Structure 1
Amino acid sequence: MNKSIYRQDERFEFLSFIKQNKYKKYVILVDSKSNGFCVPVLKSIMPFFKTANTVIFPDSEENKSIPIASFIWSEFEKLNVNKETLIINLGGGIVCDMGAFCAVTFKRGIDFINIPTTLLAMVDAACGGKNGVNFDGIKNLIGTYKNPLAIYIDKIFLKSLPNRTLKSGIVEMLKYSLLKSQNEFENFIKHDETDFYDFDLIYSSILYKESIALKDPFDKGVRQSLNLGHTIGHAIESYSHSTTSPLLHGEAIMLGLIYESALSQQILNLNQNITKQLIHFKNQFFPELELNYHFEDLKKYLIQDKKNNQEIKMSLLEEVGKCRVQVSVTETQIVEAISSLN
């Protein structure tokens, strides 16, 4: 298997890999938020990309959409993007998702790489091959599966992030610890905030996500364990974007993990201490988040996650390190779990 993830101390190897493909054109896709800092940094640490064209689209979750994808395709057309072009997705999760989706669908597939610039994108969106856009207010309703040609991870890009955005990525790492083992979880929640930004901890999270994705590239089995916290979390995130206080992805998933832990407790007899530990973690690192949601607010978005036989299905924990996928959950059970924490 070819190497696909390159660390910040493997910059030379990464560039050698890119050069061997002999592309005639390079196009950097970036959002308006990342453009000012990340493009100059990339061209500084990798002068090879100094002559690359840049396509900039508006940042924010609302712009992860078909109209913005259409704008990107139009820009690709103006630049004569073709099979001898490499798309460089430089940014957070939205850029990685949008860039991959637009590259895969333009002219039936253009090569692309991901250079994630947020912690969340590094440990989640940049790897695994899922991509897509939101549609009709529902997250990631339209999308495909396609792995980037390569991923380059460098902490230098994290320097520009506001603390709120940086912290958002911690939650996916927390989720991985829940999926790994009790020991991993216990060790993870003991960390101070600065510990989460250690490169080795970040890199181990990336390798864990990649290992699950390689076992189940099309999300038919074990990869669904990565949905832990995401059924309710995505509903909260989508609902919050209809209010005046939209949440970041990681913030919504923090709440989703707690609510789904309560459901796991109710349905699979998960130890109640796990929910208590997650609430303590939230209070320590995300004290502004409140467990004050109601089923009726989330119902529209939860329905969109229905799989088979008109049932809502989730990935829930039997115990830390043991996740059961495709668990059928009733509306009554969700109401009880949410109410127990409000």
Structure 2
Amino acid sequence: MQSIQANNYPVHFNEIGYEKLNQHLKENKYSNLFIIADTNTNEHCLPKFLPLLETDLTIEIIEFEAGEINKNIETCIEIWNVLTELGADRKTLIINIGGGVVTDLGGFVASTFKRGVDFIHIPTTLLSMVDASVGGKNGVDLGNLKNQIGVINTPKMVLIDTRYLETVPQNEMRSGLAEMLKHGLIFDKAYWEYFLDLKAIDFDHLDALIHRSVEIKNIIVMQDPTEQNIRKSLNFGHTLGHAIESYFLENESKTTLLHGEAIAVGMILESYISLHKKLITQEEYNEIKTTLKSIYDDVVFEENDIDPILELLIHDKKNEYGRIQFALIEGIGQIKINQSVENELILNAFQDYKS
């Protein structure tokens, strides 16, 4: 499968990725190699990965506990201390192998340790393959607030090997699918329509679908690497979705949502807002809502949940001058950014979701 040239780095797929990785190790005089993994990828993915490495470098593995709850500055401090104790220097290479938590956090650790060392991402979940590892965003959560601390800094390469998906549970696969559906809704109507009947999809074509999703995100990011303009389109479903995800993460009475589960709700809500701003038709909204609800279980919202979720919107990173900014779809396959939305319309969107 053809590699994709992103902004200052390549994205390689499957076998060729290991060839390029080993070539990179030979051509660059690194002092040592650190692999950052969580408990899941250390157990399930490293046994597949390590035999494919061709290097005489000293390899150290740094493991942290899996889960979004550990994507914080405290985990970073622990890893920075381990790097220091084990002799990491400016010529160290860090490989982050895992899902979005690992690539986000590992990229942030590498970007800030000694003012920045080289790093490579090897995403192992569908979500991290099509979203988290592509685009140069690295960071951690601040309490329950998603990705509040971070930098935009690109890896030396991204290696996507879809064989790692054999270790991923079905609910995690659905979580990643949400980002692929988003890419269709904001950029490629034909790609969206491919997913309208999941039973008819030939998942032998999964590699090609992942490749197209990475391609779509890369096209957008290449035009606007620092998210001043069109890259904001990738936030469709995320303004409300992130607030919902954060609320369920901090609330002990709620079952924590996977990222894609929250974003699926966000896309339904923000499609409703798009409808009532006359950006999409009723037919398009019905198609989006029906499709997403057929894939993802309904999330139950009590009346006293909504106000705290709306309060979390003020922390959204897209806000400017105190105003909440939405990226809304303008017909399936197109996007309109920097849209202000009144609270009443957001409340109506929740009511419609529950109906």
> Shorter-chain TM-score: which interval?
over 0.9
In the alignment, structure 1 residue 108 sits paired with structure 2 residue 115? yes
1:335 aligned partner, one-letter code: L
Q: 1:79-105: CA deviations, max 9, x gaps?
A: 211121100000000000000001111
2:235 aligned partner, one-letter code: N
Using the TM superposition, give the Cα deviation of residue 155 of structure 1 relative to its aligned residue in structure 2, in angstroms.
Answer: 1.1
1:4 aligned partner:
10
* Equivalent of residue 75 in structure 1, options 64, 82, 104: 82
* Equivalent of residue 277 in structure 1, options 280, 284, 287: 287
Using the TM superposition, give the Cα deviation of residue 215 of structure 1 relative to its aligned residue in structure 2, in angstroms.
Answer: 1.1
**1:82-161 aligned within 5 A:** 82-161=89-168
Using the TM superposition, give the Cα deviation of residue 211 of structure 1 relative to its aligned residue in structure 2, in angstroms.
Answer: 1.8
Q: 1:297-322: CA deviations, max 9, x gaps?
A: 31221121262232211000121122
Stretch moving more, 212-221 or 1-10: 1-10
Unaligned runs of 5+ in 1: none
1:205 aligned partner:
213
Count residues with an aligned counterpart.
341
CA distance in 1, matches of 2:94, 2:222: 23
Unaligned runs of 5+ in 2: none
In the alignment, structure 1 residue 254 sits paired with structure 2 residue 291? no
Distance 1:197 1:142, change over 3 A: farther
1:45 aligned partner:
52
Using the TM superposition, give the Cα deviation of residue 332 of structure 1 relative to its aligned residue in structure 2, in angstroms.
Answer: 1.5
CA distance in 2, matches of 1:168, 1:196: 19
CA distance in 2, matches of 1:301, 1:85: 38
CA distance in 1, matches of 2:278, 2:293: 25
CA distance in 2, matches of 1:194, 1:184: 14
1:250 aligned partner, one-letter code: G
Distance 1:101 1:276, change over 3 A: same
CA distance in 2, matches of 1:319, 1:303: 27
Distance 1:197 1:57, change over 3 A: farther
Using the TM superposition, give the Cα deviation of residue 285 of structure 1 relative to its aligned residue in structure 2, in angstroms.
Answer: 2.0
Q: What secondary structure is seen at the aligned counterpart in 1 of 2:208?
A: helix
Stretch moving more, 218-227 or 130-139: 130-139
1:6 aligned partner, one-letter code: H
Q: What secondary structure is seen at the aligned counterpart in 2 of 1:114?
A: strand
1:13 aligned partner:
20
* Equivalent of residue 64 in structure 1, options 71, 77, 80: 71
Contact 1:232 1:302 in 2 (8 A): yes
Stretch moving more, 317-326 or 257-266: 317-326
Q: What secondary structure is seen at the aligned counterpart in 2 of 1:198?
A: helix
1:213 aligned partner, one-letter code: V
The TM-score with structure 1 as length reference comes to 0.94
CA distance in 1, matches of 2:9, 2:273: 39
Q: 1:118-159: CA deviations, max 9, x gaps?
A: 000000000100111100321000110001110001012111
1:68 aligned partner, one-letter code: T
2:341 aligned partner:
329
Contact 1:124 1:206 in 2 (8 A): yes
Using the TM superposition, give the Cα deviation of residue 66 of structure 1 relative to its aligned residue in structure 2, in angstroms.
Answer: 0.9
2:286 aligned partner, one-letter code: K
Contact 2:110 2:118 in 1 (8 A): yes
Using the TM superposition, give the Cα deviation of residue 283 of structure 1 relative to its aligned residue in structure 2, in angstroms.
Answer: 3.2
Q: 1:174-202: CA deviations, max 9, x gaps?
A: 00001123333222323436628711111
Contact 1:89 1:114 in 2 (8 A): yes
Contact 2:9 2:156 in 1 (8 A): no
Contact 1:29 1:89 in 2 (8 A): yes
Q: 1:45-71: CA deviations, max 9, x gaps?
A: 335489521000111111111111111
* Equivalent of residue 172 in structure 2, options 156, 165, 170: 165
Q: What secondary structure is seen at the aligned counterpart in 2 of 1:144?
A: strand
CA distance in 2, matches of 1:9, 1:85: 25
